[in-house]
């Protein structure tokens, strides 16, 4: 049995094609999880809408508390870390992380950056060995296979690998770097482009992305089955 953590990041609460000013990234993440559970109803999910309910931004107290060894933390530090602990524990529990995220001004929405700052945590998702300055970091989420599925939406076109706007895409590269730092390196990317252009350009991109989501669900589920069969009962 697998566990999915689904994050929706768009500031738009509805679904594209259904709601006025609906979100394309939410449509993709909903499609992925729905398709997944239709084939594997035994699997479990955790849903967090950080677009509508963003995590707190990092501040001095969070930094001080997170870098203080747990045994030495004062009561206020435990309270300060409560949200971070919950978000990090949700990520740690996940076998598959599904992120529906739009590109805002060439990068990720502030809510997703806040989530990253909350879950990249010394002692929880990464170990830091200050006695080894040449290689101080150990990713703690490399303890078992985990997948991340990044389902993005962009107003323009050509932001993907090899595209004419690739150098201006600071969404997926930054997110992949943060996930890899924690040990999640099996990354899958699907994007819708052309939202600001509309018409056939957008319609074609949506159709291609939907088909890619369906194919990725089948691919990942097929890859899981041999591993599950090999696990002793």
* Beta strands 44-49 and 3-8, pairing class: parallel
Residue 182 in contact with residue 118, Cβ under 8 Å? no
Q: What are the backbone dihedrals phi and psi of residue 189, each rounded to the nearest 5 degrees, phi first?
A: -125, 130
User: What pLDDT shows up at residue 232?
Assistant: 55
User: What pLDDT shows up at residue 233?
Assistant: 53
Structure tokens belonging to residue 214: 């369906």
3-state secondary structure the chain: CCEEEEEECCCCCCECCCCCCCEHHHHHHHHHHHHHHHHCCCCEEEEEECCCCCCCCCCHHHHHHHCCCHHHCCHHHHHHCHHHHHHHHHHHHCCEEEEEEECECCECCHHHHHHHHHHCCECCCEEECCCCCCCCEEEHHHCCCCEEEEEEECCCCCCCCCCCCHHHCCCHHHHHHHHHHHCCCEEEEEEECCCCCCHHHHHHHHHHHHHHHHHHHHHHHHHHHHHHHHCCC
Comparing CA positions, the residue from 99, 224, 221 lying closest to residue 171 is 99
Q: What is the dihedral of CA 221, 112, 191, 35, to 10 degrees?
A: 30
Residues annotated in a binding site for FMN: 10, 23-25, 103-106
- Domain ranges (residues) in the chain: 3-230
User: What pLDDT shows up at residue 230?
Assistant: 60
User: What pLDDT shows up at residue 17?
Assistant: 83
pLDDT in tens, the chain (233 residues): 899 999 999 999 999 988 888 999 999 999 999 999 999 999 999 999 999 999 999 999 999 999 999 999 999 999 999 999 999 999 999 999 999 999 999 999 999 999 999 999 999 999 999 889 899 999 999 999 999 999 999 999 999 999 999 999 999 999 999 999 999 999 999 999 999 999 999 999 999 999 999 999 999 999 887 667 565 55
CATH architecture of 3-230: 3-Layer(aba) Sandwich (3.40)
Alpha-carbon distance of 187 to 165, in angstroms, equals 21
User: What pLDDT shows up at residue 9?
Assistant: 98
Comparing CA positions, the residue from 158, 165, 206, 178 lying closest to residue 97 is 178
Comparing CA positions, the residue from 107, 103, 113, 102 lying closest to residue 10 is 102
Residues annotated in a binding site: 10, 23-25, 103-106
* Beta strands 186-192 and 147-153, pairing class: parallel
User: What pLDDT shows up at residue 225?
Assistant: 77
Residue carrying the six token digits 């509508």: 52
Burial class (CB in 10 A: 0-12, 13-18, 19+), 130: exposed
């Amino acid at each position: 049995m697998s566990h999915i953590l689904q994050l929706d990041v768009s500031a738009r609460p509805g679904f594209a094609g259904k709601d006025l000013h609906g979100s394309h990234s939410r449509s993709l993440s909903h499609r992925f999880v729905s398709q997944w559970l239709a084939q594997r109803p035994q699997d479990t999910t955790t849903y967090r809408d950080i677009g509508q309910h963003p995590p707190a931004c990092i501040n001095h107290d969070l930094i001080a508390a997170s870098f203080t060894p747990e045994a030495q933390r004062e009561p206020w530090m435990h309270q300060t870390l409560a949200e971070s602990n919950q978000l990090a524990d949700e990520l740690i529990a996940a076998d598959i992380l599904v992120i529906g995220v739009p590109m805002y001004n060439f990068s990720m929405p502030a809510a997703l950056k806040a989530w990253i700052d909350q879950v990249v945590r010394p002692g929880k998702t990464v170990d830091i060995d200050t006695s080894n300055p040449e290689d101080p970091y150990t990713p703690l989420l490399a303890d078992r296979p985990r997948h991340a599925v990044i389902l993005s939406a962009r107003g323009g076109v050509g932001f993907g690998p090899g595209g004419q706007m690739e150098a201006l895409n600071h969404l997926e590269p930054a997110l992949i770097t943060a996930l890899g730092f924690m040990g999640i390196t099996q990354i899958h990317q699907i994007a819708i482009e052309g939202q600001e252009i509309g018409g056939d350009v957008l319609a074609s991109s949506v159709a291609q992305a939907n088909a890619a989501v369906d194919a990725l669900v089948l691919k990942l589920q097929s890859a899981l089955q041999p591993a599950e069969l090999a696990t002793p009962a």
